[in-house]
Structure 1
Amino acid sequence: MQQFEVLIQGAGPAGACAALNLAPHHRVLLLDRQVQPLRRIGESLPPAARRLLGDMGLWEDFLLQGHTPCHGNRSVWGGTAAEQDFLRDLDGHGWHLDRARFERWLRQHAIRRGAVLLAPAHTDTAIRVADGWQLTLQGPHGPCHAHARIVIDAGGRAATLARKLGAIRQQQDRLVCGWVHGHDEHAPADGLSRIEACEDGWWYSAALPHRQRVLAFHTDADLPAARQMRTPGWLAAAAARLPELGALLCSSGFVADTTPALTAAHSALTMPAAGRGWFAVGDAALSFDPLSSQGLFNALYTGLAAAEACDRSLAGDITACQGYATEVARIMQAYQQHLAYWYGAEQRWTGSPFWQRRHRLAALQYEVTAPA
């Protein structure tokens, strides 16, 4: 039986960040179901990420990776078009990432700092023992066993490991995202993310490194539009009819070169986000609606915060787990208030099921937060 101080399930941004911060001081096992990161959506990194990367000793190397600067956001929301630039942001601009390459880079740093990576692999069972956890793992050569003092669930929205340990997953909506990657014949030079609301949901597009572009549509899983986005060519054709985004795609000469993919994009919270001997990080702790553009930043932040709390816990601090769980709950409360505000600002399609649901959530959030 292999002995580790920390076992981390999931080597995405949250899990890799936890591993690279813990590995210099503790024996860390990092597991992932995929040998290499998959191409996926979720590539926006806000300016504030500069501070996190600096705290983790990654900033200078990150700059060498050649990701595309993001200078702000342009939205068509509530009937008006608006731009929010990062010119006054003390942290500078944000980035649009090559997501798979970014994840490989984080994994490499975790390994360089001493973490052991096992992939493809996942945790099958976790049994609490006096000094931690006895774990059965499914690895590339069959089942094996390990012991860890602390386990971290970084396995994404399913939060499989945290739920096995008794946590409850609270899903708040049914948002899904359909997306394609493609390339621009004439790449726009403004470096802006684009968001545009429509009757059944909202659209997003951004230019990525090497003249690549992502195009995505967000709606609810039970609505007809969710079934339509699976049809090859539908996303690009539907986006081309939008007043603003359609004009951008036409001028850039966008051509989709992947089949449409569908992924969960709902808001959710794991309660609690930590307990005796375990932590949840990234989407396994709290999942953000992509409208917030905070999902990847949250992965980095919770990975670092959980690593610090884990280090304190291993040193004997019995308050570390509860402190982390309280911080995650506080972040979720602030996020819900901001999300309710932005969805409540779009009032053009009050008869649409998608917007009716968001307006009900916005009204409920207002009732909860309004002063007595």
Structure 2
Amino acid sequence: MAAPGPRVGSPEWSRRLAAWMSRQGCAGSTPTGLRRIDGGTQNLLIRFLFGESEYVLRQPPRPVAGGPGMIGREARVLGALARTEVPHARLVGAETESRVLGGPFLVTAFVAGFNAVAELPGPVRDSPAAQRGIALAAGEAVAGLAMVDPAAVGLSDLGRSADWAQRQVARWTRTLDGYRGIGGYRADSLAAASAVHARLTRRYPREQRFGLLHGDLHFGNMLVAADGRRIAAIVDWELATLGDVRLDLAHLVVSWPGTLTSWPPAAGWTCTDSTDAVDRYAELAPQGLEDFPWFRCLAAYRMAVLLEGSLARSLEGTGDPRTGRRLHAIAEELLDRALDAAP
């Protein structure tokens, strides 16, 4: 087992990070102005200055299964995105070992913007016109990602195309079944899961539109430019893979702010309809949106299973019980809504 790293912000932590930043070619002497970023993520996010530039450090919690692999994967995707027009934070470097800060981490350039599910700035708060601009910008960003050619950016081996839809349903069903072996977890905890699974397996999409997927695309993982006219960056690429590109748009739609009563939007958010984003995507992405209701159902199922993991971890004693209960409520509503809209 690796020795624990230095306490965040301690002189030793700063010394190690400074030496690492210098090895990445960044000019500076010591990290200053440290600020923890709170955004609902379970990762440690630290914003800091090094020399004249501002950066963000992202580190998974310890221990975390697959931590080194997830960081390496995210770093690889961010490096590839530098060859595209997809808005993202520029990668500075990644560390997949524990010797520097006690666990794997990566550092990116800081991107100015706001999280539309957390707090809205004055120019867009209570402004339907400005928020429609955000919806259109989100549709454009997702379409831009859908049009990336994985082979052209060196990511053709990031996932397998054969039987992708069937494997997705099976994977998340196995994940959910795994929770049922945890003491205190009720087998019927997500009562609608079996019905959603039945809808998904009744008929799979006729054609596949394979490409690069973010894998967890919602407004919480988007930074919106201050004026609301563009997406400044899509963040948190740790679940990126290859798959049917319609799934990213479906994730955005099922998690759209204001559509779930258990997940209230930021104060002043009035744009509770994702139609403008979907229409903008359809205008730009050549893949089209055939069978989109199936992908909405899959997105809800997948997101519900991921959220339910927080409840499972809390029962194991490795997660916060309050967070687990809150995310469980969202998971339940996602599945109920999926049944209402299922094909």
With normalisation by structure 1, the TM-score equals 0.23
Higher relative contact order (CA 8 A, sep 6+): 1
Which protein has the bigger helix share?
A: 2
Which protein has the bigger strand share?
A: 1
With normalisation by structure 2, the TM-score equals 0.24
